[in-house]
Structure 1
Amino acid sequence: MHPILSIGNLQCRYGEQVVIESVSFALQEGEIACLLGPSGCGKTTLLHAIAGFQPVTEGSIQLSGEVISSPEIQVPAERRKIGVVFQDYALFPHLTVEQNIAFGIQSMPKSERQSRTQSLLQLVRLEGFGQQYPHQLSGGQQQRVALARALAPRPKLLLLDEPFSNLDTELRRSLASEVRRILKQTGTSALLVTHDRNEAFVAADKLGVMGEGQLLQWDTPEQVYQAPANADVARLTGSGNLLTGVVTDNRLVQTPMGLMNTTENTLQPGTRVKVFVRSGGIEIGEHEYAVPVLIAERDFLGEQCLYQLTLTDGQTVEASLPAQPELSSGVSVPARVTRALVFPA
């Protein structure tokens, strides 16, 4: 299997400001990847560089082994055979759904164009909507029309820029799954930009976590979540609490939440560390490592409750626990960390 997309030591600037620095990764044919990161981290700039909208100042971008961007080479966007689905869908309001989908394949013979349009309508589950106009569709339906339009010319690579950001949370997750189904069914390689980790987990074969213009980690979603490269990756891939700690003589870690075990055996006693405790990595109850905490807030979420726990040093940590009526605001209880990620400070 050969990479459809190869990024090597890429740098992009806006004037003197470096927006992308030393980014390298490869996307295999048929894979779906997500770039995840907060606003301003450079992920959209990277997407625009791949699409041909943004020049590069160092490094290269290759598509199917051909250099399409470098300081010396800039293949025009329209010649890259790359499809783009924009954040606002960019559908033509005066064209029907069928006409929108067929917009980029006008050079095809009419019968072939009609056949392609109908097969895409079926693929995105919008049979019977062909003669409607964008304003007659829901947000989720418009998003699927935009996807069908981008797929119509059979691009080598599809780029999706925050494609679900205009939709409500529940619909975003189901559409991320739906888009994955469509892309896998068509064998389309794709790169999706998002700031929503749930979208990334659902849609991606590979996950690239970005921060301050750099690629912090590139791996499967499971590996990135379970073994984040650093505390920043941990925070971007799961809600939780960042604490400081010190490794003790018996290889435990002393934290404001008491002592905790660590699987990181290479750290020497006395080493200062960052400890990332996911919201589900705290339990209430008596234990030799438990410390007293005060329940400051309690948000009922059905089977789970989200608690804000105040520690003896005044810090507040978040814990997601099974709903228990006796655990209410103002109650002091023992709590401990059951699992955490430890990183050198």
Structure 2
Amino acid sequence: MSVIHKKVDDLPTSVGVSFAARLAFEHVEHAYDEKPVLNDVNLVAEAGEVLCLLGPSGSGKSTLLRIAAGIEPQRAGRVMLNDREIAGPSHFLPPEKRSIGMVFQDFALFPHLTLLENTRFGLTELSRKDGAAEARVALARVGLSDKVDAYPHELSGGQQQRVALARALAPRPAVLLMDEPFSGLDSRLKDTVRAETLAILRQSRTTAIIVTHDAEEAMRIADRIALLKDGRVVQVGTAETLYHQPVDLFTARFFSEVNLFKGTVENGTVETPLGIMEARGFVNGSTVHVAIRLVGIGVSEAEGDIEARIVKRRFLGVSEILELAVAGAEERVRATIREGYLPPEVKKVRLSLRRSDVLVFASKPD
């Protein structure tokens, strides 16, 4: 199956503009068979922003989308669209009345319908002629105007994703929900399809909430990221905030690979096999975790305060991950270097740290 080769700049720039809305979750709770899946979720997607819901499987991301779409009612709390309650104790607006579109993970295209018919499917309030005209505009918006008579099975995965996006945008929703929209795409296509999808969302000015479990993907596409764990919002902010100022170890590890050491605070510092680290704000005698990002460890044949021995090298194309034996470390220390930076025969090296990549967190009870 062929793949379209349109660039973002080639996509139509005159697109139907949505009236972007502010979507808010207020103290939302939900459970399946009495097992909690959402716990007091408070979250806002501002008008026109791309908000990513990020977290591991089972953290409640997709459930939050289904509640917003009206596919299922929450157990408690409210969902507000521009300060109007659309789901809550006093009101429940059916899905077709919410002006909220949704792109499912499997695209949910009808195999027996053409692209034009798939895209027109949700335009029930328009005549057949007007609906077809709007569907053609939506398909042109995603670069598929020459495929209107094709069927889903004749398309690549990337093209099917575009059709699903066109169908969701055709009614010009105030909010668009996307559940892992890129997970089924070939890795070679992901970057292109993500960039083009983001360009379309910017052009249509739709508020978008996108679910993903991939931190790098969230950082590529989101204005803000909401990280969830066990049905709770752990931290909300820009990619820079969550990376540089994680509120806990879970957040830090979600955004980067780290070496982890446990230690006891003495006079505002904690000792690790890679040196003494600052531990401001912790009382003497408290146990902390010290997380050091792999990219924050400098490796050199001659420069650095810490002696180490290379035990293993993993080639990753433009980079290598080293496994290092360091005195006092129970486990091997890992570091990332540029490919070809160290000759293959080098075994003894010296390490240095970039202090901005050293993070200290309170140790939770085991």
Report the TM-score when normalising by structure 2: 0.86
Structure 1 residue 268 displacement after superposition: 4.3
| Of 296, 304, 316, the match for 2:332 | 316
| Of 282, 288, 292, the match for 1:277 | 292
Distance 1:329 1:196, change over 3 A: farther
- Counterpart CA distance in 2 for 1:172 and 1:334 is 38
Structure 1 residue 209 displacement after superposition: 0.4
5 Å-filtered alignment, 1:287-302, equals 289-290=305-306, 292-302=307-317
Matched, 1:333 2:349: yes
**Equivalent residues of 1:298, 1:329 under 8 A apart:** no
- Counterpart CA distance in 1 for 2:344 and 2:264 is 32
Q: Gapped runs of 5+ residues in structure 2?
A: 1-18
- Counterpart CA distance in 2 for 1:214 and 1:97 is 38
- Counterpart for residue 304 of structure 1: 319
Distance 1:307 1:184, change over 3 A: same
- Counterpart CA distance in 1 for 2:288 and 2:115 is 55
- Counterpart for residue 266 of structure 1: 281
**Equivalent residues of 2:21, 2:174 under 8 A apart:** no
- Counterpart CA distance in 2 for 1:302 and 1:321 is 11
- Counterpart for residue 270 of structure 2: 253
**Equivalent residues of 1:3, 1:26 under 8 A apart:** no
How many residues matched? 341
Amino acid at match of 2:287: R
Structure 1 residue 67 displacement after superposition: 1.4
- Counterpart CA distance in 2 for 1:2 and 1:326 is 52
5 Å-filtered alignment, 1:155-234, equals 155-234=173-252
Distance 1:69 1:293, change over 3 A: farther
- Counterpart for residue 72 of structure 2: 54
Amino acid at match of 1:298: R
- Counterpart CA distance in 1 for 2:75 and 2:61 is 16
**SS at 2:185 equivalent:** coil
Matched, 1:12 2:30: yes
- Counterpart for residue 142 of structure 2: 124
**SS at 2:42 equivalent:** strand
Structure 1 residue 214 displacement after superposition: 0.6
Distance 1:332 1:158, change over 3 A: same
**Equivalent residues of 1:173, 1:198 under 8 A apart:** no
5 Å-filtered alignment, 1:9-158, equals 9-158=27-176
Amino acid at match of 2:290: V
**Equivalent residues of 1:173, 1:202 under 8 A apart:** no
**Equivalent residues of 2:21, 2:48 under 8 A apart:** no
Amino acid at match of 1:151: L
The range that moved more, 324-333 or 303-312, is: 324-333
**SS at 1:305 equivalent:** strand
The range that moved more, 220-229 or 295-304, is: 295-304
Structure 1 residue 2 displacement after superposition: 9.6
Amino acid at match of 2:314: D
Structure 1 residue 215 displacement after superposition: 0.4
The range that moved more, 1-10 or 77-86, is: 1-10
Q: Gapped runs of 5+ residues in structure 1?
A: none
Identity of aligned residues (%): 38
Write the deviation string for residues 272-313 of structure 1: whole angstroms up to 9, x where unpaired.
3222222211111356642x3332321222331122234433
